[in-house]
Amino acid sequence: MNKEVSPVQIALRIVLIIIVIVVLLLVSFALVRFVPKLVTSFSSFRDLFGGKERLVVALDKKTIKLGESATLSVKQTGGKGGGQYVLSYSCAKIDSRTSLKINTDDESEIIGCDKSFILPIAPSDPSSEIFNLEPRGDYKSYEQPMTITVKHVTASSTIASTANLTLTISGEKDVVATSTLHFGPRPVEDKPVVSTPVLKTPADLTVSVGSLNVENNGKATLTFYATNKGGSNSGSWTFSSTLPRDGQTVYNSPSQSSIPPGGTSTMYLTFYNAHSGTVSVSIDPNNYIKESNESNNYTSATLR
């Protein structure tokens, strides 16, 4: 015999079902709001202890002059080792006279704004790197803002960061020539053999190299001697020089003072952005001076 369910019991069961449904809805709503926060919190926790990669880029100077250098430090936090660092700088507002020499312990390269400097990273390498930056220009007066971008590129990801550097050109000349004129034999410290002039003959200009030196910042100085072995004053004269450097490679001098018979002009030719190659000097390159010998007006030296 079936026991009949009273209306009160039916009502209680309906209320219970409604309560269960409401509780389920509340739990579902709470989960929808709480789970994303939980994921975010976990992500932040993971990043803090080595999950997501970040690049921290810093310059020890914000403004430098041509001939100076700045140190760019790159620190990697999180992520994996290996891959390569890629350095470049934006062409926006970049003068065509500007380039950038990048040095590390293992690599050295001069790049334009449309090129990249690439440094491979071994998986076991530390998570930081130091780059020495030497901007190059032509020593005219201008300011050059440079936005430098550093990327860490791996097979699976690319992380980038930027640093801003302003290059202030000091207005120095690109190539500078100065001279000391000796009326008679050269000083002992100059060492080249003293010539004896032949009187009442045409001038005879000769040229020889005294020294060629280069500094770490790419500044080079050539010392050479222009000597008049003839018997007449040379009159004003000029010289032309080919220079191994970035930028202007041929220098044509203004007029130089006349050299008397037996006299020597010691010339100091300074130029910047030098690299290895041959430096050549030709005096009176257009043969304006009447000389007894035109075959001794050229000399050269190797810059290493």
Topology annotation, domain 175-303? Immunoglobulin-like (2.60.40)
Res 3: pLDDT:
60
Q: How far is CA 100 from CA 58, 88, 275, in A?
A: 17, 9, 14
Q: Which secondary structure element, helix H or strand E, spans residue 244, and what is its range?
A: none
- Above 60 in pLDDT, residue 108? yes
Res 293: pLDDT:
93
Question: 221: buried, middle or exposed (CB in 10 Å: 19+, 13-18, 0-12)?
Answer: middle
Give the integer Cα–Cα distance in Å for 66 and 222. Answer: 20
171: left (phi over 0), alpha (psi -120 to 50) or beta: left
Quote the tokens at residue 161.
């960061």
Q: Which of 99, 100, 87 is nearest to 133 (CA)?
A: 100
> 234 and 203 in contact (C-beta within 8 Å)?
yes
Query: 3-state class of 259 per DSSP?
Result: coil
For 40, phi then psi, to 5°, come to -60, -45
Average pLDDT over residues 266-291: 91
Average pLDDT over residues 31-58: 60
- Above 50 in pLDDT, residue 44? no
> 88 and 115 in contact (C-beta within 8 Å)?
yes
pLDDT bin (cut points 50, 70, 90) of residue 294 is very high
Give the integer Cα–Cα distance in Å for 173 and 185. Answer: 31
pLDDT bin (cut points 50, 70, 90) of residue 8 is confident
- Above 80 in pLDDT, residue 45? no
Residue corresponding to tokens 């704004």: 113
Query: How many other C-beta atoms lie within 10 A of the C-beta of residue 183?
Result: 10
62: left (phi over 0), alpha (psi -120 to 50) or beta: alpha
Percent of the chain clearing pLDDT 70 (strictly above): 71
- Above 80 in pLDDT, residue 199? no
Q: Which secondary structure element, helix H or strand E, spans residue 175, and what is its range?
A: strand 175-182
Average pLDDT over residues 73-102: 78
43: amino acid identity, one letter: S
More confident residue, 150 or 248: 150
Query: Residue 226's beta-bridge partner residues?
Result: 207, 265
For 64, phi then psi, to 5°, come to -135, 160
- Above 60 in pLDDT, residue 85? yes
- Above 50 in pLDDT, residue 42? no
Average pLDDT over residues 52-58: 78
Alpha helix stretches (DSSP H) within 169-281: none
- Above 90 in pLDDT, residue 291? yes
More confident residue, 13 or 226: 226
pLDDT digits (tens, 9 = 90+) for 144-161: 677 888 888 887 778 887
Query: 3-state class of 188 per DSSP?
Result: helix
pLDDT bin (cut points 50, 70, 90) of residue 109 is confident
Res 37: pLDDT:
57
More confident residue, 59 or 140: 59
pLDDT digits (tens, 9 = 90+) for 169-180: 544 455 666 766
Query: How many other C-beta atoms lie within 10 A of the C-beta of residue 280?
Result: 17
Single pTM value for the model: 0.45
Q: How far is CA 53 from CA 46, 72, 201, in A?
A: 11, 19, 79
CATH homologous superfamily for 54-168?
Macroglobulin (MG2) domain (2.60.40.1930)
Give the integer Cα–Cα distance in Å for 71 and 27. Answer: 56
Give the integer Cα–Cα distance in Å for 135 and 285. Answer: 33
pLDDT bin (cut points 50, 70, 90) of residue 192 is very low
More confident residue, 207 or 151: 207
- Above 50 in pLDDT, residue 115? yes
Ranked by mean pLDDT, which of 80-89, 147-156, 178-187, 269-278 comes out on top?
Answer: 269-278
- Above 90 in pLDDT, residue 62? no
